[in-house]
Amino acid sequence: MSPSSPGRIVVVGAGMVAHRFADQLRSRSAEGDWRLTVIGDEPLLPYDRVHLSDLFTGKDAAALALEPSVWADPRITLVTGERVERLDRDARTVTTATGRVEPYDTLVLATGSWAWTPRTEGTDLPGVFSYRTVADVVAVQEWAATRAAELGRPLTGVVVGGGVLGLEAAAALQGLGATTTVVEFADRLMNVQLDDGGGEALRVLVTANGVEVRTAAAAVRLGAADDGAVATMDLSTGATVPADVVVFSTGIRPRDRLARESGLAIGERGGVVVGRTCRTSDPAVWAIGECASFEGECVGLVAPGNLMADVVASQLFGGPRTYTPAPEGTRLKGAGVEAASFGDVFGLTPGALEVTLADPVARTYRKIVVSDDARTLLGGVFVGDASLYASLRPLLGRPLGADPSAFLAPEGGAPAPGGDVPDDVVVCSCANVSAGSVRAAVTEHGCTTVGEVKACTKAGTVCGSCVPLLTKIVTATLEDAGITVSRAMCEHFAMPRAELFALVREGGLRTFSEVVAAHGTGRGCVICKPVVASILSSLGAGHVLEPEHAALQDTNDHVLANLQKDGTYSVVPRVPGGEITPEKLLVIAQVAQEFGLYTRITGAQRIGMFGARIDQLPAIWRRLVDAGMESGQAYGKSLRAVKSCVGSAWCRFGVQDSVGMGVRLELRYRGLRAPHKFKVGVSGCARECAEARGKDVGVIATEKGWNVYVGGNGGFTPRHAELLAEDLDDDRLVQVVDRFLAHYIQTADRLQRTAPWVADYPGGIEELRRVLVEDALGIGAQLDALVADHVDGYADEWRSTLEDPDKLRRFQAFVNAPGEHDPDLAYTAERGQARPARPGETAHHDPVVARTLEIVP
């Protein structure tokens, strides 16, 4: 077979690397006469295993499927749900479990790896799982739901393995309602990727998220309950922990059985031996991905597997490309905490210098490893805040261009590398895309957006950690080419949100019709309508349910309540500063009992009631409003709550009245609409019981007054707030917070939270301090006025709604059947309350009945 005609190609395995190989062949549309058959044993299209934990957040398997257009190529055949059982190298055929015989001229083994489980007694018990495939995730989800219903209580889960996948699995079990313990044989979490300092910092963060961590421990035996399912785990330390569900995430082993049985060379530690061309000991057989052993190592990462796929695709058509492994990075995701590392994490390079910044208050740990002259980047570790990872990892082995300590400085410091990185720097290691290729996508292939560049180069389409740097390069390249980078909010408004805000304010516009007539086109869309609604609300243009505003609102704002998974709504009254009277507590309890609502204390020191039908909302809120309560705006892009500790009023360590300040701030900013929801925390001393630095605005008491921090976030991408001003008196504190929120509302992009807004602010926190605290631009009075106008014009949205019959007409389940409600709502009892019934459970249509059946003997 000539190099330009690989003939019949068979790939055994249909994972991410096989998909990459098929895509690479497809791109060679004019080269050679070839046919490709890909055979996989999972009954699914090849899917993104990197984001497997997304299935626990509600995504389905179809959402993880990799680009399906690959399989539309007539030269490519995909076979799923069939396991290849035999490889006959003499006959050049593979045979599947169903008897299908597939001949080949070229065979590519992409069989991946399997989840290894240590020898532990009881691993065959029901309730014990691995964490590797979609089927594993589905099995864990189904077991958790069924077992919790059988036991009538929340589950206790144990994850064996404290690596990246183990921590993701622990977060997933938490998401399923289980209290979770991580058991790790090594002395720290992510022991391969993190040094001692990083491992300890990660332990603190994981523990703070409610996961118990036991290191230097191994699982030695699993015990069973009376019904035979797993119930306990005995550890090597002598301890026994409860375990209703167990997930093993203790590493992987290459799937090399097929290669072994056919006589191919196997590495000492397993895996199919390959050289730099990825060819095996049989010239007609190649191996790529986790099953391939190169220089004695099998790598369980997608990036080297994709590189191997590219190499084989090149080799098959006579290309010169060979495999040279590059130092890889690892980033923890989907676990509620940030951790990442790359390169020489442990400083093992001769003469290596380590520059470390550990901040126990902010709970962050950063380390950069550099050469002995402090110029060349050798590695990095980031825990608690991994924002530098995406920008620094591509510079591995290159000059940093600044003092290493400047990158780690908590404020100011050297800026992270941007769009000017050299062409040969690999920006996306997963898809092996260089900065030069990104720039070529713009200059040679006409891409004008990040999305188009991702589609063209595949950069940023796997783990996504490179997207921030990718965006900077694309923007810089477009601007260098003289191409105006579109800042349009959508097709109806050619300007970004901040510019539109200024135009609406200056023009005194009061309705969407006026705004679109003056500055837009068309009739608006789902992007611009909520943005305009938020701007109008921020500028005091009237109640959100006024006829001109109601149609603009998102689903939640449309009925002043948060939509829940079963179609009911939540009711969350405001509890300023977490302070509430016994009388109001009684009313909340009575309302919840009467309407059969599920109740819980929220993380924002409020009481949430769940399960209210849309037609019940006015009656519920009438009771609450009559008792002196008002909307907590849990549904809006606005202030959610101000969390506070008891402060000097009660605590022996408190130095300021944190409750009083919390109440003052919450009553001042209640109902203030913003580009995104925001939260405030007020701590009465440096012990930080209100977790203020994890909030958009954090206030911490000092002996001299108050320190104010901004840009924190406890959400999907946790970030600690940065110090804006210190030792302020009460009134000056309020003024600084006023100005911060007003400036954010005026200039932030749509749906941009304060954390990225602060991080991206030109000049950083120092410039923000000059603008807001020192009033360097002379806009302080304007910012003060925006908040003052809001305070003067504030009216509780639910009280106003209850006083308007026209607004109340929208609160009915069916427009054509007033008084009727959804007959499919069904509930079951759990821990003395009613919750939505799951498929197959005994259910009642009345939540009060469901709850009563459990608590009455």
User: How high is the pLDDT of residue 138?
Assistant: 92
User: How high is the pLDDT of residue 1?
Assistant: 42
Average pLDDT over residues 644-658: 92
User: How high is the pLDDT of residue 209?
Assistant: 86
The domains located in the chain, with CATH, are 7-114+254-316 (3.50.50.60), 128-249 (3.50.50.60), 338-416 (3.30.390), 418-473 (1.10.10.1100), 497-553 (no CATH), 638-795 (3.30.413.10)
Average pLDDT over residues 722-744: 96
Q: Is 456 annotated in some ligand binding site?
A: no
Render pLDDT for 108-119 as a digit per residue (tens, 0 to 9): 999 999 988 988
User: How high is the pLDDT of residue 857?
Assistant: 46
| Angle (CA) 675 172 59, round 5° | 60
Average pLDDT over residues 611-631: 93
User: How high is the pLDDT of residue 123?
Assistant: 94
76-79 and 34-39 beta bridge pairing:
parallel
User: How high is the pLDDT of residue 814?
Assistant: 59
Phi then psi dihedrals of residue 515, to 5 deg: -65, -50
Q: Bridge partners of 48?
A: none
For residue 135, pLDDT over 60 is answered with yes
How would DSSP label each residue in 774-789? Answer: S-TTS-HHHHHHHHHH
Instruction: For the chain, count helices (H), then strands (E).
Output: 26, 38
Q: Tokens representing 535?
A: 């701007």
Q: pTM above 0.75?
A: no
Q: Is 651 annotated in some ligand binding site?
A: yes
Q: With beta carbons less than 8 A apart as the criterion, state whether 576 and 666 touch.
A: yes
User: How high is the pLDDT of residue 334?
Assistant: 67
Q: What is the 3-state secondary structure (H, E, C) of 195-259?
A: CHHHHHHHHHHHHHCCCEEECCCCEEEEEECCCCCEEEEEECCCCEEECCEEEECCCEEECCHHH
Render pLDDT for 306-358 as a digit per residue (tens, 0 to 9): 999 999 999 998 888 999 887 778 888 767 788 999 999 999 999 999 999 98
Q: Is 466 annotated in some ligand binding site?
A: no
For residue 488, pLDDT over 90 is answered with no
Neighbour tally for 73: CB within 10 Å: 14
Q: With beta carbons less than 8 A apart as the criterion, state whether 178 and 156 touch.
A: yes
Return d(Cα 291, Cα 307) in angstroms, integer: 14
84-88 and 76-79 beta bridge pairing:
unpaired
- Residue whose C-alpha is closest to residue 14's, from 70, 60, 75: 70
Least confident of 32-36, 257-261, 629-633, 719-723: 32-36
Neighbour tally for 794: CB within 10 Å: 16
